[in-house]
Amino acid sequence: MTVLTDRDIAAIIREREALDLCCSGSESNVLDRTSPLDRTSPLDRTSPLDRTSPLGWIPLIIVGNGGHGRVIADLVEAARKYRVIAMADDLCTDIACKDGIFHIHPDKVRELVESDRNTKVMIAIGSNEARSAMVQRLGLALESYATLVHPAATISGHAYIGPGSVVMAGAIVNHSACIGAHAIVNSGAVVEHDTEVGWFAHLSPNSTVAGNASIGDGAHIGIGASVIPSIRIGAWCIVGAGAAVVRDLPEGATAVGVPAKVIKHRDCRYEIRT
C-alpha cells in the first residue's frame, strides 16, 4: 500500500485553497442558507464539528464511486454546504486529480482527515453490510462524518439525523423521528413522527414508515414498501419491494408480499456501533 506522503497532502490542500479562491465571491454569502440543517434545531446535534470555512463550505471526502456515490455528489452540489475534495475507491491505486477532485484509495482517508479536522467523510455505499464494514475499516470518530440532506427534502426541526446519514430529494422526516448514524433515507421515502430508524438502515425510494415504528440496525426497506404504525422491524431484516408490513418482524427476517410474510431468516452477527 502506498503511504499518503506529506507532498500528497500538501497537493490536496493546495487544490482546496485554489477552490477557496474560486468560491470566494458573492456565492459564498448564500451557501449556508441553502441547507435545511442551517438553523437551530435538534438536527444541529448531528454534526457538532460541522462549521463552515471562512468561505462558506466544508471539505468532504466521499468513499464509494459507484452509482450511489455519484448521487451523493449531486446532492452535495445541490445543497452547497460541503464541497467534495476527494473520492475514495478500492480501484484507486494511485492519487489522481480530475476536475479539481482527488481520487484516492480508502486507506488514505484517515490520513487526510487527520491533516485537517474540519474535513468530513460520507460513506456512499448502498449495501448496508458493505457500508458497515467500511466504517469499521476506516476507524474514524463518529464526528468525522457529515450529515447530508438534499435541499428538496422536508425535515422537521424536531427530528434527528445521525452522523454519516443521508436524506435524499423528496424524502420527508417528520416530528420526533430519529435517524441513526450511517443510514440512507432515499428519494421520496417517508419517515413519520416518533419513528426510530437504526444505524446502517436503508429506506429505499418511495418507501413509507408510519408513526411510532422502529426499524432495526441494518434493516433494508425495499422500494415502495410500507410499514404500518407501531411495527417493530428487527435488525438486518429485508423487506421486499412493494411489501406491506402489518406485523413485527424478527431479527434477520426476509419478508415479501401484501401482507408481508417471512420467507427466510439469516444470521446476524454484525458489530456496527463504533
* Residue 21 CB neighbours (<10 A): 9
Say if strands 253-256 and 261-265 run parallel, antiparallel, or are unpaired: antiparallel
CB 37 within 8 A of CB 47: yes
* Rounded Cα gap, residues 216 and 232, in angstroms: 8
DSSP helix, strand, coil percent of the chain (3-state; round to 5): 25, 25, 50
* Residue 1 CB neighbours (<10 A): 7
Place of cell 460541522: 50
What strands, in cross-sheet order, belong to the sheet with 261-265? 148-149, 166-167, 184-185, 202-203, 220-221, 238-239, 253-256, 261-265
Say if strands 154-155 and 208-209 run parallel, antiparallel, or are unpaired: unpaired
CB 115 within 8 A of CB 9: yes
* Rounded Cα gap, residues 58 and 83, in angstroms: 6
Could you give the residue numbers annotated as active site?
193
Q: Which three cell numbers, joined as nine digits, stand for 184?
A: 440512507
- 29 SS3 class: helix
